[in-house]
Amino acid sequence: MMLVLKIIATSLGRLLLYMGLIASINHSEIAAMSEVSDTLSRSSSTSEISEEGCQIDRFTLRSESMQRDIKVVVVLPPGYLHDNDQQFPILYTLHGYGAPYDTWAQMRKLQQQLKEKPFIYACFDGDIGSCYIDSTNKINVARETDKGQVEELQLSYFRTFFFDEFMPAIDQRYRTNPDKRGLTGFSMGGGGSLTYMLDQPDLFCSVSGLSTAYFNFDSTESRLSNRLAHYIGSKEENPEAYERLDHYKAIKRHLDAGTQLPPIYQHIGTEDFLLEENREFNVFAEANGLDLIYRETDGAHNWAFWHPASVEVAEFHWDHFRQ
């Protein structure tokens, strides 16, 4: 009888000990473990090695501000895979209106530059035409190339996403050099690069654009005024937003405040429908003493121009990453 009671007491003690261990894990610790697991599942990636020796990572990043997942692709230079301690400059690459989000990741000529110019570059899906701003209205995010897809209205906060979610996530996941950041984009993405730079110019050491679409709401050449009306209302309804987003006025405000803006590179094809808009910006830049390299060469508003032009984009940013 005594032996049976001893066995029961021992088993009860072990049960109480087990229950005590479970109780010692508080709710915050459980929540933290759940959050880590959730983040890992959201950020699970697929990787491939390109013919140029670059690692290309694809994953989705949860945007809490927009309450949806955003597609991301990161291209790592060959040297990243062989040096576990080095930090690398990073170039943020923005796509144009309606273009595939990973257009820059498809540029083999750009990847060929990364062996001698080892920097990371990263892209994200800015929807069909977000203009890379925080919209006050829900906008259509469905791409024209998505067969059978109906209009899909979603929150669009791509200014908040870039600074508060995308940049920190890439810094956490990869060995980026926080003092060597650049921005580039084509078409709408070129305008987005200027918008981001003018928002926080101290974060970037260089900015560039191919076939850039500018925010210049006092010009008849600007093609974006009508489009923005769907996102933030008309200029009459929301004059403060237009004043804030206008590239020309933002540059003037920085110059009046004595802000040192990073060097700018702009390249446009002579058959591009945005040619006059780009020439207008070049005149403005020269008149206001901006550090701008401006180029016109043969080409139109298409991949055949942007892909080879990416080589000089890499050269421009690398010159400033090395400084």
The pLDDT score that the predictor gives to residue 1 is: 40
Name, in order, each residue with C-beta under 8 angstroms of 20's C-beta and a sequence gap of 6 or more.
none
Percent of the chain with pLDDT over 70: 83
CA angle 241, 244, 246 (to 5 degrees): 105
Whole-model pTM: value is 0.85
Nearest to 119 by CA among 305, 311, 320, 318: 318
Question: Are the C-beta atoms of 250 and 307 separated by less than 8 Å?
Answer: no
- CA dist 70 and 63 (Å) reads 7
Which range, of 8-17, 77-86, 163-172, averages the lowest pLDDT? Answer: 8-17
Three-state DSSP state, 319? helix
User: How many C-alpha atoms does 169 have within 13 Å on its Cβ side?
Assistant: 26
Most confident of 44-48, 71-75, 80-84: 71-75
For range 196-207, the mean pLDDT = 98
The pLDDT score that the predictor gives to residue 150 is: 58
For range 68-93, the mean pLDDT = 95
Question: With bands split at pLDDT 50, 70 and 90, how would you rate the model's confidence at 235?
Answer: confident
Which range, of 130-134, 236-240, 287-291, 297-301, averages the lowest pLDDT? Answer: 236-240
Which range, of 82-96, 130-144, 264-278, averages the lowest pLDDT? Answer: 130-144
The pLDDT score that the predictor gives to residue 23 is: 34
For range 143-167, the mean pLDDT = 82
Mean pLDDT of the chain: 86
pLDDT at 148 over 80: no
Q: Alpha-carbon torsion 48, 50, 55, 56, what sign?
A: negative
Domains in the chain with CATH codes: 44-321 (3.40.50.1820)
The pLDDT score that the predictor gives to residue 30 is: 31
For residue range 85-132, list pLDDT tens digits in order.
999 999 999 999 999 999 999 999 999 999 999 999 999 999 999 999
Question: With bands split at pLDDT 50, 70 and 90, how would you rate the model's confidence at 38?
Answer: very low
pLDDT at 271 over 70: yes
Which range, of 143-152, 264-273, 312-321, averages the lowest pLDDT? Answer: 143-152
